[in-house]
Structure 1
Amino acid sequence: MGKYSVLFVEDAPIASSLKEIVPWAELGFQVIGSVFSTEAALSMISAAKPDVVLTEVKMSDLADLAVVKRGKAASPETAFVILTDCNDFECAQQAMRLGVADYLTMPLNVAELKAVMTRLCQTLNQHRNTVQNWQAMQHYYRDSLPVMQANFYAALIDGQVEPATLEAYLRDYQVGLTGPFYACLVLHTSSAQAPDGKDVTALRAEVLKQANDFFGALWTTVAFCYLRNTVMVVELPAESDAAALTDDADRFCKLIKSQLGAVITIGIGAVTDDLLDLPKAYHGARTAVSYRSLYGACKVININEVAPTEITDFTPISDAALADLFKVVHVGPDEAIAEAVEAYLANVNQTATCMAHHTVAINDLVSSLYRFAVNNHLQIPELTDDPKALYARLPELSPQTLSLWLLDLCKQLNRQLAAARDNSSTALIQSAKEFVRAHYSDEQLSLNDVCQALGVSNSYFSTLFKREVGQSFITYLTDFRMERASRLLLETTEKSQAIGHLVGYADPNYFSSVFKKHFGRSPMQYRGGLAKVSSSK
């Protein structure tokens, strides 16, 4: 912390001696000079703004207090300490009324002067701390003002500002909205149609900045982020200026698309002449934005143009349309799924001609998708874990975004169904093979026995087995029995007839015929050939 500056206004050599005998630096002061006249003192005070002026005054002449009067006018923060040869009480009162910090009589007591300057240093320290704290508070207030303004705007459109407190908020938060009319805009940035590799949060921030620059050059506006959208309150000189604002908003949509590659939809609520009616205007703007699910994104939607279409008849989406979609989801491929999704949503758009109907139709779709996934034991967290979030979000998606979402979900369902089928098929084939290993010696073993044990139809199992194993079940069973028979011929001395019985053949001749067809020689020839090979070794 720096030293406080001291200026001497001398009338006699005493001041010069004080500069030498008083340890000013230890007391927290630095002498910046001496002057010898009132005019020189006032010039120095005006220029240097010293913290303390130590002046000699002959109290017998009250005019000598001119240096205090005029000095205070030139530098109100400067503290004056008077050294005088007079202890007249009335004159002392006169000095104190002028704001003199302290009053000392001569002959001067150095210890007394040091005590006065020590107290004065403490007073100056307190004042400096107060000023610094106040400056810090002002700096914090300036830094926090944008956040406080945004919070106020959010509270205003949310209907949380009371009429009695509105003027105080406008003044304290330096809000320059004076009307006479106001429009509320909601700018929705599509996250599903964001440019590849672009962070959606950063994209919304860029849209907010661009909106401030674009609309701020044309209108008196405030813009802020609220519930993942950009919200703007725009002053209108006349209610009819809403048309010009709509045109500007349409140009802004195109500008953002060309410059950022972002798809935004702007909803405009009804114009109002009262800031306290902004909640209604904001609700209208949000409702207008939600109509992008019917009219598409990257455009301006005015609530006054869409609200009347609510009164219409409604025919639910047919079950056949949904059945067609699920049928394709079961079998694929992706191209067929894409066509089925497009056909289903076209059906939705033809049937649901207003927002209320569209919401019902999309929520019915969510319910049907949920049942489909659960009934088929499929797990897609977005759908099966939190369908409630989908009920709130999907009806507001633009047609393109909704189509992309449904296509992706249907592909996921198709993949999981295929994986489930593969897992089920593998398990079924493995069970069939195990059944063969356990019952191949049964002379009556047949395809019917295996299918009955596994609980599947003959045609389904035959098709599945041929596809997965690469041969028919009967061929597999025959190959298995022949492999067992060849091992028994090698490893045992049982007769051919007995081995045939052990591997499921009651007729020795038939067994011998099948064996020869499989290995190219009879069982006895097969065993004899192996014996010769063994003896030659």
Structure 2
Amino acid sequence: MEKYKVILVDDEIEAIQAMEHKMDWDGLGFEVSGSATNGVKALELVENIQPDVVITDIKMPYMNGLELAQKLNNDYPNIHIIIFTGFDEFEYAKEAVHLEIEEYMLKPVNAVELSDCMERLKETLNREREEKLNVKKLQNYFQDALPVLRTNFFVSLIEGRVNETEYEKFLSAYQIPLEGPYYCSVVFHTSEHHVPEGMNPLLLSMSVEHEIKERIASELNCQEFMYLGNTVLIVSLDSEDKATELTDFCDRFCRWANRVIGAVVTAGVGRYCDSLLNISNSYEGARKAVSYRVLYGTARAINIAEVVPREQTVAVQSEDTKMHELFKTIYLGNVKDIESAVEREVEKLHKSAATVNQYHLSVMEMVGAFYRFCANNFMDFNDFFEEKENLYEKVPELDKATLMKWMKKAAVAISEKLKSARNNTSRRLITDAKNVVAERYMEPDFSLDTVCSVLGVSNSYFSTIFKKETGKSFITYLTDYRMDVAVRLIVETNDKSYEIGEKVGYLDANYFSYVFKKKFGVSPSKYRKSPE
């Protein structure tokens, strides 16, 4: 069985080493996945490692153990926390009761006592894991799914088959409170290709749905149901900017599901709308966002309004639904998949056309579908194929091989245009973010949340794009920018170190010195005496 992950936090390196070497972590069913000498560094490790247990001292620089525990409880409520404290801090440590600390222990650490503690904690973690994957419980939950009539109503709603009269009637009959004024659809897709050993894919999907109901639906004004193997949410939003918060909320769940129950869940978030009668458009956007996992990765949330440039629209007209799979591959941009989809379309065309007139009519419909697709995405179809005049007349006369070659060229060219638009949008986003940093780096509370709020995007999407475009995380970029400014001030001014720290966003002079030395290898004062 996979070992539970532990992070050790203590400002005394010797204490960390003692715990690492004196304890039989492997025999206890744990592995030490990392260590930190202060709470700030510990939070960075938690974000990257997603541990099951954090063992921390109370007295540490920059952020003490209780402050760390408070942040962990707020952002990672499923992490178990053990706190060490000296005898003279016993009363202070009692505050840990309010922070839901697993246990607190007196220093110096006794290996036997800590081993007993970890044995008890392992039993708790095993119970939690067994409860999540208990087959009987999942089967019982499957029988208690939403009533068929209510599910049918939601399915009809996202498929656009409910008129205004029916909509009002069913909302009242089923007592569904969705006040708006804005609405958004979210689709959670659980991969069938990444299933824990011995687990049935269907039961895993039911487990994910159960957790979505408990951890997400219970926190939102929304309705939840299953459709086509996915869990769907129809969410009521009180303002337009809540869509980005919703994306980050869903993103945290996807990461949790991957870490705790081994499910690879991708959440697609559609564009918001101002009427439930239009929720079908949001649902289609959410489904399309899920398909973008091949570009942006799984086990995360993807907002269609962020991955597709705002000046584009991803809607496919109803008369073009026969070519939906082809248009889907065009959006995703894989040339081989596009060409294969074209071949399937042409093969279907030749098999279904019984007469020449039917064939000509079908080919003209295909040309019209391309025209509409380009128009819906603010492109002129003629820009790609100026050499073909009177397409409606000439294309139907092409033989099978020539038609297939022409369609492949058309589809790939359109896909490249869409990809270029997405890349331009990403680069503009990064440029805007860097401009925000240049304007506000001196603010002590400036953070990832700040820049995402200014730009109107989710943390999840922005972090992915920023790392992809710059090669570093946003926090690393912000720290490097501040340190570069600090170096310039050290060289060009006579300001004291703490004054320079305040000018680049650090109110704590000691922490500023710590970050500076970590980057440049010397303290600010020594750097001034002999700058490199």
Asked if these proteins are the same fold (TM beyond 0.5), I'd say no
Between structure 1 and structure 2, the one with the greater Rg is: 1
TM (norm. structure 2) is 0.38
Higher RCO, 1 or 2 (CA under 8 Å, sep at least 6)?
2
TM (norm. structure 1) is 0.38
